Structure 1
């Protein structure tokens, strides 16, 4: 996605399990956290709005769900 030649996004996601492949990219949770921080910065300026608050809340909920999934899988591996 490139709307402006001065700004771009390039995301390399983790390929394979970290314990097998090592860290070779970011996790979905990392990207969500960046988005939350960006929206929070908008909330402190002229772009503050209810929709940003809703988006922040939903992204934080998504991160929570992914964290719960990770913990469940880690606990399953230990048993």
Structure 2
């Protein structure tokens, strides 16, 4: 297991622990992360985040994508910007997340044009 600490900046994030649970896959990325250190309003303690493992055409849909998590974070920031917590920092963060979404979509479109989306082909 490997710990991630990039999020630690305030007393809330100091208490949240992120662990990488699995070994990197063939593409070099990990697929299973666990966040602990809290008990949510639902009563659940922590969360497992499981990413897609393998190309969809070969492995089927078996996890989340970066795009899904970015869409959730973008939605939250848009809501903050529409409410009493609007600020320049949120606007800048939202812009960068939208930029990341754009580049991931461009990567997918390029792979689709080449006919390799959903496969291990580079």
Q: Fold match, TM over 0.5?
A: yes
Q: In the alignment, which of 30, 39, 54 is matched to residue 5 of structure 1?
A: 39
- Max Rg structure: 2
Matching of residue 75 in structure 1 with residue 113 in structure 2: yes
Aligned residue pair count: 78
**1:11 match: secondary structure:** strand
For 1:2 and 1:46, how far apart are their aligned partners in 2? 29
CA deviation vs aligned residue, 1:2-61 (integer Å, no higher than 9, x gap): 454226443211000001111111111111000000111111222211110111111001
Structure 1: which 5+ residue stretches go unaligned?
Answer: none
TM-score of the superposition, structure 1-length normalised?
Answer: 0.85
Q: When you count helix as a share of all residues, which structure comes out higher?
A: 1
User: What's the Cα RMSD here?
Assistant: 1.8
Structure 2: which 5+ residue stretches go unaligned?
Answer: 1-34, 117-122
Q: Which runs of 4+ in 1 moved over 4 A?
A: none
For 1:22 and 1:77, how far apart are their aligned partners in 2? 17
Q: Higher RCO, 1 or 2 (CA under 8 Å, sep at least 6)?
A: 1
Closer, same or farther: CA 2–29 of 1 in aligned 2, 3 Å:
same
TM-score of the superposition, structure 2-length normalised?
Answer: 0.57
For 1:46 and 1:4, how far apart are their aligned partners in 2? 26
Q: When you count strand as a share of all residues, which structure comes out higher?
A: 2
Structure 2 partner of 1:22: 60
